[in-house]
């Protein structure tokens, strides 16, 4: 028996040689369109691939049930926005920590952590950009202002970094970057609302 989100499918396990063939057939029939697979159970036991294409090696001779559980793309996107909210908090904490290290003249450690902070911030903005393009999100005034503020700040911090003025960089992180990052909490909340109402089920 093959189940997708609790619904029995009109497919017979005995018609397949391995698990991968089931996945391919289910996708071909469109049962997973606009859905993201979250869990797979074989004979009520959780299955996850330990290595790529392991599903091809799963022999179905002793398998009675294959259950696939999914979430809609928009539900997954809402979950991502929840994670992004946590990332904003971490970025703020990171900025405070880097500023403290620069003030304590722990320059090497501060620079390493600063680079991590910049990488996380870029990844965060990249994910926001993907969500906006996938869900045709509104151009909220808050989003545009927050983006512009962060972009300007990036340029300023890059100049300060080139001049190796660590105290000024600490000030920028604490008094400008931190408030700029905190603005994104509201933006993320607006994005989450847009994702919920975007019409993608």
In this prediction, residues 78-86 reach a mean pLDDT of: 85
Residue whose tokens read 């499918």? 9
Q: Where are the alpha helices (DSSP H) in the chain?
A: 19-28, 73-103, 107-135, 141-162, 166-172, 178-196
- Ordered by start, the domain boundaries in the chain are 2-72, 75-196
pTM across the whole model: 0.65
147/179 Cα distance (integer angstroms):
13
Q: Is 50 exposed, middle or buried (0-12, 13-18, 19+ CB in 10 A)?
A: exposed
Residue 201: the pLDDT is 42
Written out in words, the top-level CATH class of the domain with range 2-72 is alpha beta
Tens-place pLDDT, residues 40-66: 999 999 998 888 888 889 888 888 999
């Amino acid at each position: 028996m093959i189940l997708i989100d609790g619904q029995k499918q009109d497919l017979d396990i005995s018609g397949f040689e391995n698990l991968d063939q089931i996945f391919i057939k289910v996708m071909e029939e469109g049962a997973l369109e606009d859905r993201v697979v979250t869990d797979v159970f074989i004979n009520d036991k959780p299955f996850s691939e330990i290595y790529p294409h392991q599903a091809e090696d799963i022999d179905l001779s002793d398998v009675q049930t294959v259950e696939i559980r999914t979430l809609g793309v928009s539900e997954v996107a809402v979950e991502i926005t929840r994670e992004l909210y946590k990332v904003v908090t971490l970025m703020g904490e990171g900025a405070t920590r880097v500023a403290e290290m620069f003030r304590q003249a722990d320059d090497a450690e501060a620079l390493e952590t600063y680079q991590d902070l910049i990488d996380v911030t870029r990844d965060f903005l990249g994910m926001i950009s993907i969500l906006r393009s996938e869900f045709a999100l509104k151009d909220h005034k808050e989003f545009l202002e927050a983006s512009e503020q962060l972009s300007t700040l990036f340029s300023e911090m890059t100049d300060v970094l080139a001049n190796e003025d660590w105290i000024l960089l600490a000030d920028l992180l604490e008094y400008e970057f931190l408030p700029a990052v905190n603005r994104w909490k509201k933006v993320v909340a607006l994005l989450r609302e847009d994702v919920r109402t975007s019409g993608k089920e």
